Each structure stands twice: as structure tokens, then as C-alpha cells.
Structure 1
Amino acid sequence: MGSTTPDEGIVLLRLSASAPVAAVGLPPDLVAIGVAGARIPKGLPAKMSADLTAAWWKTASFIAEYSLGVPADDIASLGLDHDDPADRIEPLLALCDATGITPFPVDLSGQLAAGAAAMLARWNSPRAARARRTQQLPVDLPLALHIETVIVTDHHEAGHGHAISRDLKSGLFAPNGAFRHGVRSTGERQMLGHPLSSLPGGVAMLTGVLAELESRLGCVALVDFEYGPEGLVLVGLEEYRRTSARTATSLAVDLATRGITDERTAVRAIRPHHVLELLHPQPRLTGQEVLLVTGLAASPGAAVGRIVLTSEEAVEVAESGESVILVAAETSPGDLPGMMASAGILTVTGGSASHAAVVARGMGLPAICGASGLRIDRAAGTVTCGEHVLPAGSIISIDGDTGSVYIGAVAIVRPEPSASLATVLSWGDDVRRLGVRANADTGVDAALAMDNGAEGIGLCRTEHMFLGERLPLIRRVILSHNPESEEAALAALARAQREDFRELLLAVGNRPVTIRLLDAPMHEFLPATPQEAEDENQARMVEHLHEENPMMGVRGVRLALLHEGLYPAQVEGLFNAWIDVSTQHGIEPELEVMVPLVSIPEELLMMVRLMRRVNQEVASRTGIVVKFKIGTMVETPRAALMADQLAQWAEFLSFGTNDLTQLTYGFSRDDVERRMLGTYLEKGLLTVSPFSELDDPGVAALMRIAVDKARSVKPDIKLGICGEHGGDPVSIALCEDLGLDYVSCSPSRVPVARLAAAHAVLDREPS
């Protein structure tokens, strides 16, 4: 479709190029091919004439360089000598006559042939071939050339523009874009212009076309158009690839509900990174930010706050209403109050499975670990990185998705609820086989997990209940030097646990909840030095209990066998809490009691007998028999290899993949991620941290052995995973392959796990 000029009756053409796939480096559009005698026709309005002149200069100079062989520097010098494109045309034609292979063609067919030759020469140049290699595209990628007529009329009666089928903020179908009057003089899209609402002739046709394109192509459509007295012409169509997560989910749901696709297709279209984008705050960057340091992206989301260097300071400043970022060399369980008070966490050491990372993900806080460029001076109250010295109280911004730390406040975009995401996740729930639970230690965490769609609690770490004000309780149990004081401490412990568990069970409701009995290394509960002990007897005990390798020392079931009243006190508190919520609220959670760090089957047998005895004692006192299941964590290679013997006593097994990975590799998690992981990745010894993504050849091989052995003894035994890998999409797909029954992850990652579990099924279906 086209038009002729008012007085000379000539036809102008546009020559454009396209490749079969998206490619950077396509030749530019050649506009106004066919100008008679290389001059703009007379009688055109001034503005239209200026548009055509600018377009013609670009077309003619491109043909001169790539088809006629005129040196590029000579052409460029014309632009320096003449500001007005109209003044460059005659010198360019003279230059072609003097140095070109042939004179510049003056007829339509000659210009069209020369233009096509120029575009192919540009596409086949060594520079263009290198560009395709960089994009991992075939060097011989074919090129198609398209010929269009150019609409030439009064400047305000013709124009060009673009339109996108969706509002990119809301994600809803709402065509938007811009247009400009005059001739489209370049293939580059002009994003600014008049709004579509003022388009001559209205937007009804565009709206209908975009709706039809979405239906047929299944994507957000982007079209280029031209308009004139004879109507609107589409001159370009492509998928708009820079869609937001909100737009992608809205489109997927719309197409499925209209019957154009189906629910499974909608679930396939949404990837885990879309879920993270919709659930966590994101920074709105302008490019003017000052980057302080980059570390490991340990927990997603973004936050702005004042630097605090201690847990105590975090609590104090946060209580005054200030947002704070806890900056530390590393964190420990004792820092939990400060972490809970902070908007984000930044540590110098540690990796994705460090204490800071695990706790931050559990609480839904953004965190960056392993920012080794930082230097913290608590005495001076400063944080230093290169030339930047920031005193405590300075404002910084962290992006837990990229690991970037910025000086000053960056604008934060808070996520809004997405009904489309909820729909996609519910469709995914109908597809997935794996159950999805959450790791939660408090009623608040459990409530968040349930809101995010968790089907229960796969791990409650009871050691987190003994920090802060509760720390003296567990210390008295461990450091007690006579039976009477230990018994009193155990009674207080049971009462405290009853309150903690009651809050948790109320939040869980009638769902399953797995309570892991105490499993922290003993040194986390002891004074750091004998000098910090309460008395001389306690100081001697602290010195006596010192361990060279506490992570592999007296912890878990080993500590319970040395302090035989410890687990009974915990279990008694748990059973009493269950009776409370059952009798007072009519809630009956499915209790699962998990014994940690078992590597000898007889360890588990002793704990089974102990818990049954406690249950009988509680029943004789209350008249209520609490129903519960007993299981153990598989977190040592020996436990995996002896899973058939463990299954004789266990009603469920849960893989603790954090420790299982450490012990399988012989890695110290924090040390490896801090000191050698980068080198191993650089040398290709590892492709990803095994603490972030489950190791298939090693750790998962042990898990396969354990699964086969356990089910050979007890086919219906419940098998799950409760390490941090439970929220990683790649690891979840591996859990599907292993035939596990559920995964458990931090509350904030439950939606990601739900979608990833659905993908684990869909990705195995024939395409």
C-alpha cells in the first residue's frame, strides 16, 4: 500500500532486512529509494520535504559506501562540511561519480538493486560475521529483504509509530505506544511521540490486530505501523521480549482462560525468576548509583537502611523506627535478635549456605554474603571498601538478587499482589507430584509459609528457640554439675518449649509439622571463653567441653545421649502443646518428631523407645494419647548407606542436604565458599556451588542409594528434603527424579518451589 507524491507521480520505496531469529547488527532500513534524479520532488510541504531529505541522505550514503565502494571517511567528511542534509546530496553524487565503481543510479530499479547489494554487503562483512559469532548465531545466517512503498502526503496526514499489546506496569491487555508525523526515516524505533489515543483514525484497528496477534503468537506483540489518507499499514511485527513478570503471568492466564492455550501451557510459560520478581522488593536503578561492593546474592529482595555493626545496635536503632542493614564479618545464632530487627544483612564472609544466608532466606530478608572487599572496624565504627570509608549510621542499599551494595538510598519498588500469579500457582499445584513444605521455627514464620501455600512444616529447628533470653536454660542443662540443678533446668526447658510449640502448632493447623530435636553444635550454647562463665565450676566445664571440630562433634543425637533428659524435655513440651491446641482449639497437627545426626541405627532405636515412653507418661497424666511419627535426618554418608536399617524404626526420612554435602565433599561450607569456591569455578572444577544446587553425581547418588534401600524395607516410607536445596528449582527437579515425597524450603521460597515442582513434571512430558 502506498501513495505517490502530489506533482510528479513517482513511487518511493523502503528496503528493510530481517533474519529468521532475533539478531543484533541488521542493516538499517533504506528509505525513499526512487527519488527522481536524486532530488526531493517539488511541491511537498516543507516538513515532509525535510523528512524525506534526511531519509534520502542516509539511504544514499549507505548505498555509496557498501554498493558503490566510496570510502566511508570521504562520506563522513561531507557531514562535517554541510550541516543541512539537503546541502550534502549534490557533493555525494559528485563523489560517487569521481570515486565510485559506477555513478549513483537515478532510476527506481537501479537504486533498488544498489540498495539490495549494499545491505547484503553489510550483512556479509567480516565485522557483521564477528557480531553473529558473539551472539552464538550461525555466520551464514540468511537475510531476507523486504520492499515497502512509502506513504507521501501532507506532513500531518501521514506518520509512523509503534504499539505494544500490554501495559507493561499492570500486565493487562491495554495497547499503548507512540506515533510521529512524517516519514519514517530510519529502521530504529522512535519510542517518544504522540500518544496512541490521538492517532488519526483512532486505535480500534490496532487494538483488534494486537489482540489477534497475541492469540495467534502467544506472546506480547509489538508492531510498527505507518498511516496516511488511505489508512493504517503494519510494517513490522515482533515479540516484545522485555516483559516484566507481571506482564508474563497476566498474558499466560489470559490466553489460558480464553481457551487459546491451556493451564499446563500457562504454567510452563512462567519461570521461577518471574515468581521471585513478583514477591520481593526490587531496586529501581537509574544508572547514577555509586557501587560500594559486590558479593554473593544470598537471599533475594532489596532494602535500604543505616549501617549497624552489631546485633545489639540493630535492635536499638530499629526500635527507634529506623531501617537498618546489619553489616558483619559473619553471623552466628547469637545475632538472631539483630537479624530479625534488620531490613537486610551484609556479611564479609560466608556463602549461600552460611548462617546469614540461611536465616535471611528463612525470614524473607535480602542478604549479601562473601563481600570480601569490605573491611569492618568496630572500634572505629567504620566500613571501608577501597577509597570509600562509611561510618556506622551511613545509609546503604543492598540488592539480594545481584549481590550489589550501593552507597546511599536507592528507590525500592514494593511488589503488589498478583492475582495472575496466584492463578498460575494453583494450576501448578494441580500438576505437581512433590509436596511443598516450609522450614519455619516460629508461629510467625509458619503463618507466612501457610500464606504462601505450604502444605506443612518440613523442618522446625528447635535450637533457634534457645537463643537470646532462653540461652541460660540450655546452658544450665549442658553445664549443670549436679542432678538437681539439671532437673530444674530441664523442667524449665519443657515449659518454655510448650509455649513455643503451641504458637507454632496453632499457625500450622491440621497440617503435618516436622519438629527436629536440638541439633546445634554445642559451642553455640556455651560461653565463648571460661572467663564469661557464671562461676568457677561453669568455667571448668566450658574448658572441658571445648571441641576442635564442633560441627562434627557432640551435637544432635550425640548430645542427647550424653544428657539423657534433654530430648524427653523437648518431646514432653511438644506433646503438651499438641494437647493444648487440640483440646482448646480443635486443631490436630500431624506431628513428626525428627532425630538429627543419626549415623548408627541403634541411636535411632534408643530415641524411639525414649519418645514412646514420654508419650505414655503424658497420656497417663492427661488421658490423651498424642499421635506422632518418628523419623530421622539423613545427613551423613553412613546414614544414607544404612537407610534400610534406619527404615526399620523410622516412619519418615528427611535428607539434610546442607551437612550431607559438606560431609560428602569433605568441605567446610563457609571456608570453601569464602576461600576457594571462586577459584574452583574459574578453573572449571565446579560449575556451581554444591551448596546452592544439589550435586547429582555425588550427593544425589548417595540419596538414590538411600531411597532404594529405605523403600526396599518399607515401600510407603515418607521421604523428603529439608536442606536449602529444597528451594532451588534445579535441585527440585532432581528430587522429582529421585522419587521423594516432598521438599521443604524457607517460607519466602515456597511459591518458587511450588512452581518448580510443577515444571519438574511438565519438563518430562513429550513436547
Structure 2
Amino acid sequence: MQQIYFFNEGRRDMRSLLGGKGANLAEMTHLGLPVPQGFTISTVACHDYEKNQNQLSAELRAEIAQALGQLEEITEKQFNSVATPLLVSVRSGAAISMPGMMDTILNLGLNDQTVIGLAEQTQNERFAWDCYRRLLQMFGNVVYGIPEQTFESVLANYKRRNGYRTDLDMTAADLKAVATRFQELYLESGHGAFPQSPQEQLELAVAAVFTSWQNPRAQVYRELHHIDNNIGTAVNVQAMVFGNSGADSGTGVAFTRDPVTGKHKIFGEFLQNAQGEDVVSGVRTPQGLPTMAEMAPQAYQQFLTAVAKLEKHYHDMQDVEFTLEHGKLYFLQTRSGKRTAKAAVKIAVDQVGEGLIDRNTALLRVDPEQVSNLLHPEFAAATLAAHKPLTKGLPASPGAASGKIYFTAPSAKAAHEAGEQVILVRQDTSPEDIEGMVVSEAIVTSRGGMTSHAAVVARGMGKCGVVGCEHLIVDQQKQQVTINGTVYGEGSELSVDGASGQVYAGVLTATQATQDQNLQTLLSWAKEIGQMDVYANADTANDFAQALSFGANGIGLTRTEHMFFKSDRLLKMRRLIIAGTALDRVEPLAELQELQTEDFYQIYRLAQGKTVTIRLLDPPLHEFLPHDAKEMARVADALNMSVSALEKRVAVLHEANPMLGHRGCRLAVTYPDIYEMQVTAIVNAALRLKREGVPVKPHIMVPLIDTLPELKWLKARLVAKINALLAAAHTPLHYQIGIMIEMPRACLIADQLAQSADFFSFGTNDLTQLTFGYSRDDIGSFLPTYLDQGILKADPFKTLDVEGVGKLMKMAVDKGRYARRSLPIGVCGELGGDPASIRYFASIGIDYVSVSPFRVPSAILASAQATLQRNYQASKATVQAR
């Protein structure tokens, strides 16, 4: 099988084989853009490499040698030639873009002889030795795992000793000395001398790139972005062009639209006399594109024409990497650009208006998870006006965050696990920092531009980010940062405004972001398409108001127990629990009924006839009781009882395994007056609103049902109570009593339960717990290992376990609808907000999902995408059937 393809042999639809970078290099070649010649080693070779115990096969080695020979003919240069040395870049490229996560080696082919030849050929000794020291640095890190900081320290110390401000101040002699020291590092690290054979360099580099597919930072990135571990990476071998070859050369990264705001204007950065990694890594803070326009106006106009052509060809905003070599333009990469949530939504809506894409494409293009980022907090103008910023950098990714500063990924991760809000502060970030970036509220760097690693990853993760803070001096060794003369050590508190790029001392109060008009437009399109309704999990009128502003159709879950956790209410609840008899419960129940009636009234009033599903009390009673001695004494005093009496009552209510114990409907069977109090509050609130002319249709949900007799017994009690209330009020009221499906047994007998239940609503949190036998509260001790080892593909509490929990749900849907064809069925667990889970729910006929208020917009979009994808599959099946 062919494992290597030259750029003119591929096309963009070959991503799975050539990776995104290789496929796009091929496409640009076909479009006639100036692309340096090269070839792609396919993902098939990556899979073979892994199967071959991380060894390149003899067949692949032979094919590489043959391809290299062809490249030598095309370029009229030769590997290991002093007179006409051929140098190549070796870059990875998976089918799905993973910016900065995989490895790159530039200038491969140099050695102690060819560097001299390159200097003579170009008449530029400084350039030649700059290329060599870069190769030694990248090759040592990628192939042999010598830490990047080991090389950076040598450079930093050399510049400090000689009073140099940047790498550009270093002379040819300086760079030669640095290269010599770098070669000594190879020997000191135990890997032997740097290989002088270009062929050996290339084979080692290809193997290292394949190996890098499984490096920890790449795995973390794939897990974060739900990228399949098995797709592998391709390797792109490309003739070098040199942006570091003099003052008339340079390198840059550009976006065809602003990746932060989405504005339709070219956005990019350029570094004179530099190679691409200088921009991407952030080791130098670049200039804007006007620098390139002034330096090479003709090439700049050619560049503008080409990138406009690329956006029109791909029908999407492009992220382009390019190089100028002595004024001549070359394109090294194009891909769909990473963008903030705000930009993603604006670009999608704008491109529909421009006729570049249709509405369905726009809906499919925006990641539902990303939509939640549009709801980022922000600092109010008045708050910012009252505080003087410490420094200002580039606003790389929006949002507002406060927290304690940490300087390394491990320390940031440890602080996060200890419950702290973390701000990661670095000179610049690299892929090794990914775990620290994941757990941080904000990322701040002293170096780098808007296309640096820190900026791109922050935007991709939806993290608040500020980069290129030049007045911020980071000392990694001392774990401190100096900002305008003031030293801030690890654990100091800072606030970061990603919208303006400003950094403040201390903690500033953030407010929620305002609604985005482009998002409203996109969601209006989504609502027209989506076939699953989206409701909110809301326990208060404030929660519901927030959900309604985001487009919720109503409430799918009100957890009544959450209404009792305020201090004044908690005491009344505790008085109820402590009561030993039904008579003793009468007074506290009356107090709670009055509070619940008002709560329900406010929620129903906001609903204005929209569906509101109220779940009756679910958790075990002991959760409301005090446990430590100090709290026990305080509660005993408030309840006017002795500590010993309270301790005895708490002991009686204690359960060895509350998850499986006295809770939910079991509580109602033993204490029916509690559920009767709650339905009384529901009916009284509904009747009050009905008198005011507001329509109300109460949906009452009973949790934890296991058997049909259990449901019938409870429903009979509740119906009797409700009908008595309605008879006394001489007012009819339509209501429904349904059940929460949380127990595997309930799924198995769903056809029986459907005979009595007016609706089903899956409680996926508990259903997942009981199916796996995992406790949500205790999985932290083993779940990370399960995910790392691939035992579980995903956290089942974040993304539905289709094989187990999903099958139970499908069984319940099928059985329930068999017994009652029009049975309404929803999902109200946390998985209701997960886009991947929503796709499955849509496929099995779920009518609605209910999610936390801030996940409503992403669920609306995910519902529309599920419909579009299902329609596409149905259309494809029809075509195939013909």
C-alpha cells in the first residue's frame, strides 16, 4: 500500500489519510498558491508504526528514501551536500487540528559540514548557524526528550552575559558557540552525539513525530476536545524556506477574519528575520501585518489576494502560516481558524448574510460547548473604573477571572485540586503546560502575540487570556512575577480582563455577560430546526428568569429540596425531621407549605403557561441534619432541645448507604404527609394564579420509583389530596403526575409504569450511578486512572454511556411508548446538556432535555445539530437504497 503522497497527489477530502495539514498543503498546491515542495507520510504509516512496536518498517524506510530522491530532483538540491544542501521541515498533522500539541523540527539536514556549505552558498554565516542551533534545539527536544528549558537556559544565559536583548543581537560567532554547547548537551544527556547523517536525522524525526501522537499533552488535548485517540497523525516533509535569512525575510500567521471579535478584516502578525516557531511559541512578540506591507508591498498584495481566495474556497475563516524569503511569498499551512465563541457565532451569522454558507451550515459550524463561553462573566465598567490596572497585554481570549497565581502546570493543577481559583502566569506557554491551562481560570504571559500557543489554546478552551504583557517579568526559579517594580509571589491574587488585556491586583467582582445579538439570531435558527425542546433545571425564580432569557421552553426539573437550604428554611426543615410523630410534624409542615406555595407561585407566574415540572422531595432526611459537634450544639439550641436528644435522632436517621436507602418515593411511603404538603403548595399556587388569569398546568414528578404497586399507592394518595383541594376551591385544574426514571429496574418494567405515569423523565445522574455501581462523590479516586488507561472512553457523568445506560434508556422509551404511544419522555440529568449525549437522545425519541440555565443555549444548538445530522443520515440512506 502506498504510504507517501506528494502534495500534488492529494486533495483536501483526504484528511483521514493525509491529516489536515497534508490535505490542505495538497489543496493549496492544486489552487496554484506558492507552496514549498514536499510529501506527506500518511496516517496508515502511523498505525503501522504503532503495530510494529514503534519501529519504522523496512518498506516505509525504502519509500521515504525514494520520496527524498524525488524531492532532490524537484528542488535541485541534495541531502548531505555541502554545495547545495537540501534542508526540510518535519511537521505532524492529524485529521483534526491540534494547534501546538504535536511536534515540529525545522532545518533538518544540517550537520557540521553542511552548515558551512550553507553559509558559503548564502554568503550569510549568521543565518546558517542560526538554522543549525534551531535544529539542534528542536531535534534534541522532539527526538531525545531533552527539556526545552535546558536549551532556553543556555540561550538566556548567553544573552544576559553579553548584554543582548533579543536573539537577533547574537552574532555568527555567538550562534556557533551556542550550537557547540547544544551538542555538548546531547552527550551530557546520555543520548550520544547529534547524528550527522541527514538520512538518520529524517528517520528519527519521523519516528519521533509518530511517537508524539501518544505524548501526555496530546492525550490531554484530545480528551479535552473529544478527539478520537485512534485516528493517528501524518508527517509532512517539506523543503525549507527561510524567514530568518535576513532583513528582507520574515514569517507570520494570519486569520482571514478577527479570531477574537469575528470582524471581517484580515488579522495577523509578522516577525521580521524569523522562523515560524518564533511566532507560534511566543518567544518573540511580533509586529502587525503593516510591517510586512511596508517591507514587501508586492508580496503583501499577493498575500491578501491569496488568503481571500482561500476563505472563499473553504467557505470558512482560515488560519494561514506563511514565510517571506528575500521578499518571495510562500504558504506553509492553511486550516479553519480557532476562534472565540463570540467570533464563531458572528462569523457563522455574517457568512450566511454574505451568501458564503447557508443556515444549516452555520448551525453545524458552531460548537455547542463553545456557545456556553459566550456567557462568560465580565467586569463591569464601574468596577474597572474604580481600579487601576497593573499592566496591559494583548486581549487574547475574552472573559473575566480572579484567582491566585501559579507559575507551573503541576502547581496550578495542585492548587485547583485543593479548591483554589487559579491564574496561570508564564513567560510563554508550551504544549507541556496543557494540564495547567486546563484547570486555570485565566492564562497570562509576558511574551507572545495573538497567535502564540497561549493565545490559540486559551481561545480554543474558552479560557480568559492575556498575552504579551511586556512589563511583566516572570522568574520561574523564584516562582514570582514583577509587575512595574512590585513583586507578586505564588498564591498572590490577581484579576484578569480578557476583553481589554488588563491585569489588576486583588479580586474584582465579575458580572455575567450581556446577551449577544448574533447568538440570538443563531439560536432562533436552531429553534426552527431542533425537534427536541430544551427546558431548564431551575429551583428558584431567579434561576428560571435566567433560563428564560437564554431561550428555555420551560422548566423540566425543579428540585424542591434545594428550596430548603437557606438558613431560615433549613431550621424549619430540621424541625420537621426531628419530629417523632405525625402530630409533631403538623406545625413545621404548615410553615414549609407556606414557603413552598410562595416559591411555586413565583415560578409559575414567570412561566406564563410554559411547562413547569416540580420534583417532590428526593434526598434522604439525614442530609439536612447537622453532623459536627459545634453545629449540633447550635441547632439543638435553636430547636430548644438537648444535644443528646438531637444526637439520638440523628443516629436513628443515619444510613450506611444513603444512595440506596430511605429517600425519594420511599420517604413518601413512610411519611406521606410530606408529599401531601408539597402537592398542596403546588395546587394552592396554581389556583392563585388561575384566579389572576395566568394559565398553569402543574407537572408533578415522583422520584426513585421502582415498582408499579409503589407508583399506584403514591399516585392514589396524591390524586386524592389534589382532588379534595380542587373540590373545596370549586375550580378544575389540569395536572399530570409522572415519574423520574433513575433505577435500572424502572427501565426494565417501563411498560408497566407507563400504565400509571403521565410522563417519564430520566434522571441520568442516578441512573448512571446505579448502572455502573459508581458513586459520583467518590469516583475521583479511580476515574482519572480509568480514563488514562483507556478503560473508559469518557467520564460517564459527562457524556452518556451509550452501551449500558443508553441501552436501558432506549428499552424504557420503547416499552413506555408501546404501552402509551404518546407518552412524553424527557431527560433532566446533567447529561441533558452534553452535545454528544443529545445526539443519542434524539435518536431514541426523547422529547426534551432539561439543563442548567447557562447550558440552555448550547443545548438548543445541539438539538438543531442532532436533527440536521439525522436528516443527513436519512437522506444518505435513501440515496444508497436507490
Name the residue aligned to 1:362.
none
> In terms of mean alpha carbon deviation, does 617-626 or 535-544 score higher?
535-544
Name the residue aligned to 1:523.
622
Q: 1:751 and 1:679 mapped to 2: Cα distance? A: 33
Q: 1:263 to 1:602 in 2, by over 3 A?
A: same
Q: 1:252 to 1:413 in 2, by over 3 A?
A: farther
Q: 1:427 and 1:233 mapped to 2: Cα distance? A: 41
Task: Confirm or deny that 1:167 pairs with 2:258.
Answer: yes
Query: Secondary structure, in 3 states, of the residue corresponding to 2:256?
Result: strand
Aligned partner of 2:753 among 621, 646, 668: 646
After superposition, the C-alpha distances for 1:23-49 in whole angstroms (9 at most, x for unaligned) are 743543999x9x9997689xxxxxxx8
Q: 1:145 to 1:618 in 2, by over 3 A?
A: same
Contact 2:564–2:570 at 8 Å: present in 1 too?
A: yes
Contact 1:55–1:186 at 8 Å: present in 2 too?
A: no
Q: 1:576 and 1:263 mapped to 2: Cα distance? A: 45
Q: 1:713 to 1:27 in 2, by over 3 A?
A: same
Contact 1:28–1:187 at 8 Å: present in 2 too?
A: no
Name the residue aligned to 2:212.
134
Aligned partner of 1:247 among 332, 339, 343: 343
> In terms of mean alpha carbon deviation, does 552-561 or 295-304 score higher?
295-304
> In terms of mean alpha carbon deviation, does 142-151 or 707-716 score higher?
142-151
Aligned partner of 1:491 among 585, 590, 595: 590
Give the drift of 1:172.
1.5
Q: 1:39 to 1:413 in 2, by over 3 A?
A: farther
Q: 1:17 to 1:610 in 2, by over 3 A?
A: same
Q: 1:611 to 1:19 in 2, by over 3 A?
A: same
Name the residue aligned to 1:270.
366
Give the drift of 1:656.
1.4
Q: 1:37 and 1:469 mapped to 2: Cα distance? A: 80
Map 1:207-606 → 2, pairs under 5 A? 207-217=304-314, 218-224=316-322, 226=324, 233=329, 235-239=331-335, 241-281=337-377, 288=407, 292=411, 294=413, 417-467=515-565, 468-481=567-580, 484-526=583-625, 528=627, 532=636, 534-535=640-641, 542-584=650-692, 586-606=693-713
Give the drift of 1:13.
12
- Tell me how large the CA RMSD over aligned residues is: 4.9
Query: Secondary structure, in 3 states, of the residue corresponding to 1:630?
Result: strand
Name the residue aligned to 1:720.
826
Give the drift of 1:461.
0.8
Contact 1:26–1:123 at 8 Å: present in 2 too?
A: no
Name the residue aligned to 1:337.
none
Contact 2:256–2:265 at 8 Å: present in 1 too?
A: yes
After superposition, the C-alpha distances for 1:432-461 in whole angstroms (9 at most, x for unaligned) are 322221111100111111122221111101
Q: 1:491 and 1:209 mapped to 2: Cα distance? A: 74
Contact 2:260–2:339 at 8 Å: present in 1 too?
A: no
Query: Secondary structure, in 3 states, of the residue corresponding to 1:587?
Result: coil
Q: 1:583 and 1:440 mapped to 2: Cα distance? A: 25
After superposition, the C-alpha distances for 1:276-304 in whole angstroms (9 at most, x for unaligned) are 43333555999736965637989999689
Q: 1:595 to 1:37 in 2, by over 3 A?
A: closer
Give the drift of 1:654.
0.9
Name the residue aligned to 2:224.
none
How many aligned positions are there? Answer: 604
Is there any run of 5+ residues in structure 1 with no aligned partner, and where? 3-11, 42-48, 65-75, 93-117, 305-343, 345-365, 367-386, 388-393, 400-407
**Which structure dedicates a bigger proportion of its chain to helix?**
2
Q: 2:607 and 2:580 mapped to 1: Cα distance? A: 38
Rg larger in structure: 1
Q: 1:753 and 1:300 mapped to 2: Cα distance? A: 28
Task: Give the residue type in structure 1 aligned to 2:407.
Answer: Q
Name the residue aligned to 2:856.
750
Task: Give the residue type in structure 1 aligned to 2:203.
Answer: S
Give the drift of 1:502.
1.2
Aligned partner of 1:143 among 215, 219, 237: 237
Q: 1:563 and 1:209 mapped to 2: Cα distance? A: 74
Contact 2:536–2:850 at 8 Å: present in 1 too?
A: yes
Q: 1:440 and 1:37 mapped to 2: Cα distance? A: 69
After superposition, the C-alpha distances for 1:500-550 in whole angstroms (9 at most, x for unaligned) are 111222233321111001112021234549974643777765554444433
After superposition, the C-alpha distances for 1:101-128 in whole angstroms (9 at most, x for unaligned) are xxxxxxxxxxxxxxxxx99747733234
Name the residue aligned to 1:98.
none
Q: 2:243 and 2:595 mapped to 1: Cα distance? A: 82
TM-score by length of 1: 0.66
Task: Give the residue type in structure 2 aligned to 1:495.
Answer: E
Q: 1:434 to 1:261 in 2, by over 3 A?
A: same
Q: 1:747 and 1:187 mapped to 2: Cα distance? A: 43
Is there any run of 5+ residues in structure 2 with no aligned partner, and where? 1-32, 35-83, 95-101, 137-153, 160-168, 180-195, 215-230, 378-398, 424-440, 442-462, 464-478, 480-490, 497-504, 877-882
Q: 1:15 and 1:473 mapped to 2: Cα distance? A: 78
Aligned partner of 1:25 among 99, 104, 108: 104
Give the drift of 1:637.
2.0
Q: 1:206 to 1:718 in 2, by over 3 A?
A: same
Aligned partner of 1:196 among 264, 283, 289: 289
TM-score by length of 2: 0.58
Q: 2:808 and 2:558 mapped to 1: Cα distance? A: 24
Give the drift of 1:477.
3.8
Identity within the alignment, %: 32
Q: 1:511 and 1:176 mapped to 2: Cα distance? A: 45
